[in-house]
Homo-oligomer: A and B are copies of this chain.
Amino acid sequence: MEKRSYIGIGLLGLGVVGSGVAKVLWKRADMFAEQLGLPLSLRKVLVRHPAKHRELEVEPRLLTTRFDDVLADPTVDIVIEVMGGESPAKDYIQQSLVRGKHVVTANKEVIAKHGPGLLALAREHCRELRYEASVGGGIPLIAPFQQDLAANRISAIHAIINGTTNYILTRMANEGMDFSAALRQAQELGYAEANPANDIEGTDAAYKLAILATLAFRSQVRPQDVFQEGISRLGARDFRYARELGYTIKLLAISKEKNGAVEARVHPVFIPSDSLLAQVGGVYNAVQVEGDLVGKVIFYGRGAGAEPTSSAIMADVLAISRNICCAGLAPAWLRSDRNKAIIPVADIETRFYLRMNVADSPGVLAQIARILGENQISISSVIQKENDRQAQTAEIVIMTHPARESAMQKALKEAAALEVVREIANFIRVEG
C-alpha cells in the first residue's frame, strides 16, 4: 500500500455533467473519505472560459484552460473526462493513460469508436480506464457485463437506451400525438436538443449499443457495424395499429450472437405490449440481457442527467481509488456496525386497505368512520357491496389516507368491538 494523504482528481470539462461531478465531490467529501480511508481531492479543472460565471463555485486557482497543466500535475491520480465529443477528448484520454493516470470517462462516442484500443493502452501502462457513465446514466451496466455476468454466455441484448426518443414515442403512444408535435414538446422540456438528429436518427443509441455489444460478446462491435434507422417516419396511425394488434412501438437497440457471429441494430420495433420493455415510459432507459446461466435480467433507470451520470462517474472513481489504496478490498463501511436506529413498525405511516363484513343496516359506515376519525385516520375511498341477504351482512372496503400503524391497530380493535361489525376480514398496507 502506498503512503499518500489523498487521491487527486483532474476534471476535464465543467459543463452540466462536470459541474454535477464537482458538486458531488464537494458534497460527499466526508462519505468518500470514510469509504476510502482517505479523501478525494480535486486538483485541476480544465475549462474553456475560466472567467465565466458559474452557479457552482470552484476555487479559481484550480481552473485552467491548458490540458497540459492537468497532465503535468503529479498530484492528479485520476482524470475524469466529461467534455464529450471525439476530439480532443480521445487525445486527452490517451495522453493521460500514457502519463500514468487512471481515466474515468462518460464519453460514449470515444469509447464506442476507440474503446478497445484505449483499453489496451491502459493495460500497457497498468492503469484503469472506466466508462460506466457512457451508457445508461447511473444504471449499472458496464460493471455487470464486466463482472456480475462474467460467467455467462450472453445471447441477446434488447435495450431502450435513448431517453429522448423514448419520451417522444411514449407521448405518441399515449396521446396519439404525431412525431413533430411530440418532438417539439420534448425540446420545450429540455429532453431533446435544438438539433435532435443525433438522438432521433439513432446515432446516440448506436454508440451505446456498440459499447454494450463489445462487452457482451467479447468481440469489437464498432458504431459503423450497427444498422441504424430513426423514428421520424413513424405516424400516429402506426401507433393505433400497434395497439390494436397488441404491440407498442419502441426504438430498440438490439444485438445478438448467432453461431459465432454478431448482429447489431437500432430501429423502431413492435414489441408485445405486455412485455416489461413496453412498460418503460418517458425518458427512462432499460437494458434487457439474456445469459445462458442467469436467464433474462433487466436493468432500469434514468439514462441521462447530471446527477445519474455523476453517480456512475463517482462509482468508477471510487472503484479505482479502492484499487489504489486498498488493493480492491471491500470498502470499510461494509463492516457496518449498527449505527442507525430501527423504526418500530408501530411508528410507520402507510395508507391502508380495509375489508370488513358488517351488519346490513343503516349507520354502520358512520360508526366505523367515527372510530377511524377519532384515531386521526382519514378515509380516501369506500366501496360497499356484495350484500349477503340471507346472513344480512354487507361488505365494506375502505382505503385510507396515510396513517400510523399504531393508530390503525387501535382503530381496528375498536371497530372489531362494534356490534355491527361481524369481522375485520383483512387489512393490507398500500405503497406508492
Binding site for B on A (CB under 8 A): 24, 28, 31-32, 35, 116, 119-120, 122-123, 126, 128, 132, 137-140, 143-144, 146-153, 158, 214-215, 217-221, 225, 227, 233-235, 237-238, 241-242, 244-245, 247, 249, 252, 254, 257-258, 260-265, 267-272, 275-277, 279-280, 291-302, 305, 307-308, 310-312, 314-315, 318-319, 323, 327-331, 333-343, 345, 347-348, 350-351, 353, 355, 381, 383, 395, 397, 399, 425-426, 428-432
In the bound complex, CA of A396 to CA of B226 (Å): 31
Q: Contacts A116-B337, A264-B342, A308-B294 hold; do A146 and B238 have CB atoms under 8 A apart?
A: no
Contact B146 A342 (CB under 8 A): no
A-B contacts besides A263-B342, A272-B432, A297-B299, 6 pairs, CB < 8 Å = A214-B336, A245-B381, A245-B397, A261-B343, A269-B428, A270-B431
In the bound complex, CA of A249 to CA of B234 (Å): 37
Q: Contacts A310-B293, A397-B241 hold; do A334 and B298 have CB atoms under 8 A apart?
A: no
In the bound complex, CA of A333 to CA of B216 (Å): 10
Q: Contacts A258-B343, A301-B294, A327-B323 hold; do A336 and B426 have CB atoms under 8 A apart?
A: no
Q: Contacts A245-B399, A261-B341 hold; do A119 and B330 have CB atoms under 8 A apart?
A: yes
User: How often does this chain occur in the complex, in copies?
Assistant: 2
Residues of B within 8 A of A214 (CB): 336
Contact A219 B270 (CB under 8 A): no
Contact A425 B237 (CB under 8 A): yes
Q: Contacts A260-B340, A293-B138, A334-B215 hold; do A270 and B430 have CB atoms under 8 A apart?
A: yes
Residues of B within 8 A of A242 (CB): 353
Report the nearest B residue to A264, measured CB to CB: B342
Q: From B260, B335, B343, B355, give the contact of A241 (CB < 8 A).
A: B355
Contact A271 B345 (CB under 8 A): no
Q: What's the least CB distance linking A116 to chain B, in Å? A: 5
In the bound complex, CA of A24 to CA of B395 (Å): 55
Residues of B within 8 A of A267 (CB): 428-429
In the bound complex, CA of A392 to CA of B325 (Å): 76
Q: From B35, B146, B342, B381, give the contact of A261 (CB < 8 A).
A: B342
Q: Contacts A138-B293, A151-B28, A328-B328 hold; do A431 and B345 have CB atoms under 8 A apart?
A: no
Contact B244 A383 (CB under 8 A): yes
Contact B334 A35 (CB under 8 A): no
Q: From B297, B310, B339, give the contact of A300 (CB < 8 A).
A: B297
